[in-house]
Chains A and B, each alone.
Chain A
């Protein structure tokens, strides 16, 4: 055995990111010699608002061996089948970005190509009528597909809406059970190696010194280690994503929770609506260059569906990414590594992706720069993929009702996105390169949903008989509608999960 093994991992900050990291690392480094310590201060608030997620979260929970029903009970969670976008293409329009695909390919021809061709022959229902998740979501229905599920139920992919503060608490007890140690205290100083700048320890306000081999910076926007100590630098993306502030508030539910997130565009920004079991999370995201705080607050409050709970809270940010998510022996996770607004519910996923890459590239105390560089390249790639997809929503708009939307519509987009749009515009082609986070069906949903209609379609589609294809499209649509009608209502399904939490007991 070499003696370069990591003995002490110190996580700085105990928000969602910190406890996700602690939970995963406590499980993953359960080797008899690595200790996981998390330092947090009750005096520092966390950002935890109602949080929406994307399907990989299911994998994260599974990897930890978490019982999903326990998790639902502990975090006030509801299920999520996608996002409804209101007013993004034009005022008054809406579309659905579902998890999971639209239909299925036929003889190697992508479903959306057949849809595009058929649309040249007749008026077609919205493409979301061909996505199982969307069809169920719009009816307020949900069922969790079993591992053995067959089509169409097997094409359901889901995520959750949950209370991020409760999720952190849930993961904390998990991590502590697995031996992670929590230290209460405020970090006041960071001790670095004189020559290479590696972080050796953090000092707390009571004078204690916490030493470590590997530090995980989960301190939020300020980046206590990665930025304040290491001066890593931040790449600013606000020319493409000018929103820099959000005002958030909870309200009462006005009905049973929907199994989807809603994102509504307003003249000065957009508003999220995240239904949990017992309340609704809301927030208005805007750019201070275009919209005044007062106006934002008024828009938010005016568009709540139920009685407001508490006072709106404001939150500032700069969209972008840390130039090196991993610098020296510090890995930043969550807001310390970058920020992209929650329009596609990617915040928690970015933490998860960072953890997964850290595990894949787990270092020893020699901290091989080649492995670190690779980590940084992968994380940069994920951030840029998400960035491009978010920019698409702003840029692909026909709205001209405010200076904000006019700016977004006219702005120059990154080359990577410009190429994607050009390929789409000519024949409706969309390629998922290098394991991009968002699948082709996600791009298709947003591009069609925001009225970017390609000039043509894939010539290969003409190898299939249009009348037979039309029948198959119709069959898919009807089958999905019938399957959705047979599902329980979302709220009933949640109740069912909460009623008999221990899955292990049910299985035996």
Chain B
């Protein structure tokens, strides 16, 4: 055993981030002799947990903490998700889907989209959407898990995530964490005790007078950033010049029939509105820029565009896009909203917690708290936030909309350097390169760039290894296969019932 090992881990805050962290820690290192994992939270402090959409990587996390998928889907009222539909982003009346998984098939060693671009140049009118089984199936409200046993079928490459009730997810993970030995302490933190010389956090003091001591503190206190911000003074870097939305108005509403396995994002005059269908209700929210629209107007817009009756009054949320370049300082690691915030346009909030946990595990400290390792953690965290930021900014920047001051601002803003480079590369010959294992793949960039109307001037010369006629034939064949396979998938509602993940009752329209 390592002499100066971390013996006491204290997680501050019990929202989704806190309980994800606790569940993962228990599972991965819970068995180290003498290690305690404690989570401090107060029932008096609400969590942000709204209906939450995720990306496929969450399956890795779920596998890590050992949860059973059907059980989890049932416990969190979850639905499946094959992608995000974007409406009115490019222009009014336009829509496209950013799918998980792939388009078509790589041919001659060249990515599919070069063949598609070539087909387009030859006059083939079919949109990219027609080459994604996920999109075609989702439009038919169908869903099934992938079939790796059929490697030659597009079924083998289905990629999916979930939409669920985040507070139920937190509760579910809490039960896993507590069963695995994590200790929960109820209480409000009133003071943070630091070492006089080093400034390391030694304990948090609760309202009750109790002190919770630790070697390593994980700040999951949300926007407040109790330890990383208030105590450690780690500065917040503001990105609102690129992502001006700073508020959201959220409300759930009744379901309106069979859900498509898609999250929907609809552009609005001063932002966009999410629509996340769960089994029993739909989560909705209008993300907007307070400089361009009032709260009242935002609430009115939201309420006017629900699929069912609202369940309660719209709840306001305030935030600022950005992150803390130092997410780990001394013995405090920030995970979740305390580390940074990026609007949920691409459903990355939970992923950022998950990847933060993975990074912390790969650089897990001793009480010596190696500065080089901390620096690596911070660099990689920053890179991840920057990568996602750039992808989000793409959605706002690549638009034809000029109907409101908000969209005029977005369309004409100076993009960050990384995004500018990606746009340039794509505009010329349709080239997309995934850097340093960034979270969004070539497919994601392709989907949004094409979806939002960016047209490359050329395609990869190697697409010409296929004679023109063959290109068109093969494209047609791919569409035929997808059109043939999609209707063989079950409707999502049937799938949920078959897997025992939901009762027919839950899926019924609330009345």
* Chain A residues proximal to chain B, CB less than 8 Å: 1-2, 4-6, 28-33, 63, 107-108, 359, 361-364, 368, 370-371, 374, 419, 422-423, 426-427, 429, 431, 433-434, 456-460, 462-465
A-B contacts, 28 of them at CB < 8 A, read A4-B458, A6-B461, A28-B462, A30-B465, A362-B460, A362-B461, A362-B462, A364-B429, A364-B461, A368-B429, A371-B428, A371-B429, A374-B433, A423-B373, A426-B368, A426-B372, A429-B363, A434-B435, A456-B2, A456-B366, A458-B364, A459-B2, A459-B365, A459-B366, A462-B29, A463-B28, A463-B29, A464-B31
* Shortest Cβ distance from residue B348 to the other chain A in the assembled complex, whole angstroms: 22
Residues of chain B contacted by A426 (CB below 8 angstroms) = 368, 370, 372-373
Contact with A along B460-501 (1 / 0, CB 8 A): 111011010000000000000000000000000000000000
Residues of chain B contacted by A464 (CB below 8 angstroms) = 31
Main secondary structure of the interface of A (DSSP, over half): loop
In angstroms, Cα B190 to Cα A255, docked, is 78
> Do the beta carbons of A5 and B364 come within 8 Å of each other?
no
> Do the beta carbons of B428 and A460 come within 8 Å of each other?
no
Residues of chain B contacted by A462 (CB below 8 angstroms) = 1-2, 5, 29, 32-33
Main secondary structure of the interface of B (DSSP, over half): loop
Contact with A along B420-443 (1 / 0, CB 8 A): 010011001101010111000000
Within 8 Å of chain A (Cβ to Cβ): is B94?
no
Residues of chain A contacted by B415 (CB below 8 angstroms) = none
Within 8 Å of chain A (Cβ to Cβ): is B121?
yes
Cβ-defined partner of B431 (8 Å) among A63, A371, A423, A463: A371
In angstroms, Cα B372 to Cα A426, docked, is 10
In angstroms, Cα B467 to Cα A32, docked, is 9
Name, among B32, B376, B461, B462, the residue most crowded by chain A CB atoms within 10 Å (CB to CB).
Answer: B461
> Do the beta carbons of B433 and A5 come within 8 Å of each other?
no
| Total A-B pairs, Cβ < 8 A | 94
Also in contact, A429 and B373, with CB within 8 A (given A5-B464, A30-B465, A108-B28): yes
Residues of chain A contacted by B33 (CB below 8 angstroms) = 462
Within 8 Å of chain A (Cβ to Cβ): is B176?
no
Within 8 Å of chain A (Cβ to Cβ): is B6?
yes
> Do the beta carbons of B428 and A423 come within 8 Å of each other?
no
In angstroms, Cα B465 to Cα A362, docked, is 13
Give the nearest-CB partner of A459 in chain B.
B364
Also in contact, A31 and B364, with CB within 8 A (given A2-B458, A426-B373, A433-B436): no
Which 6 A-B pairs rank lowest in CB-CB distance, beginning with the nearest? Answer: A31-B464, A463-B29, A462-B32, A362-B461, A459-B364, A463-B32
Within 8 Å of chain A (Cβ to Cβ): is B146?
no
* Shortest Cβ distance from residue B373 to the other chain A in the assembled complex, whole angstroms: 7
In angstroms, Cα B371 to Cα A422, docked, is 11
Within 8 Å of chain A (Cβ to Cβ): is B30?
yes
* Shortest Cβ distance from residue B421 to the other chain A in the assembled complex, whole angstroms: 8
Within 8 Å of chain A (Cβ to Cβ): is B179?
no
Give the nearest-CB partner of B431 in chain A.
A371
For the complex, count residues of B whose C-beta is within 8 A of A: 40
In angstroms, Cα B366 to Cα A4, docked, is 59
* Chain B residues proximal to chain A, CB less than 8 Å: 1-2, 5-6, 28-33, 109, 121, 361-366, 368, 370, 372-373, 376, 421, 424-425, 428-429, 431, 433, 435-437, 458, 460-462, 464-465, 467
* Shortest Cβ distance from residue B337 to the other chain A in the assembled complex, whole angstroms: 26
In angstroms, Cα B465 to Cα A33, docked, is 10
Residues of chain A contacted by B372 (CB below 8 angstroms) = 419, 422-423, 426
* Shortest Cβ distance from residue B205 to the other chain A in the assembled complex, whole angstroms: 28
Give the nearest-CB partner of B64 in chain A.
A108
Also in contact, A427 and B465, with CB within 8 A (given A108-B28, A368-B429): no
Residues of chain B contacted by A363 (CB below 8 angstroms) = 461
Residues of chain B contacted by A30 (CB below 8 angstroms) = 465
* Shortest Cβ distance from residue A6 to the other chain B in the assembled complex, whole angstroms: 7
Cβ-defined partner of A459 (8 Å) among B5, B31, B433, B435: B5
In angstroms, Cα B2 to Cα A427, docked, is 11
* Shortest Cβ distance from residue B107 to the other chain A in the assembled complex, whole angstroms: 13
Give the nearest-CB partner of A457 in chain B.
B2
In angstroms, Cα B329 to Cα A333, docked, is 46
Residues of chain A contacted by B32 (CB below 8 angstroms) = 459, 462-463
Residues of chain B contacted by A423 (CB below 8 angstroms) = 372-373, 376
Give the nearest-CB partner of B433 in chain A.
A374
* Shortest Cβ distance from residue B360 to the other chain A in the assembled complex, whole angstroms: 10
Residues of chain B contacted by A5 (CB below 8 angstroms) = 461, 464
Other than the given A28-B462, A426-B370, A459-B2, 4 more pairs (CB < 8 A) read: A370-B428, A434-B436, A457-B2, A460-B364
> Do the beta carbons of A370 and B370 come within 8 Å of each other?
no
Give the nearest-CB partner of B31 in chain A.
A463
Residues of chain A contacted by B462 (CB below 8 angstroms) = 28-29, 31, 359, 362
Residues of chain B contacted by A457 (CB below 8 angstroms) = 2
In angstroms, Cα B464 to Cα A33, docked, is 10
* Shortest Cβ distance from residue B8 to the other chain A in the assembled complex, whole angstroms: 14
In angstroms, Cα B372 to Cα A462, docked, is 22
In angstroms, Cα B429 to Cα A363, docked, is 9
Name, among A32, A368, A465, the residue most crowded by chain B CB atoms within 10 Å (CB to CB).
Answer: A368
In angstroms, Cα B467 to Cα A496, docked, is 41
* Shortest Cβ distance from residue A290 to the other chain B in the assembled complex, whole angstroms: 33
Residues of chain A contacted by B464 (CB below 8 angstroms) = 5, 31-33
Residues of chain B contacted by A465 (CB below 8 angstroms) = 31
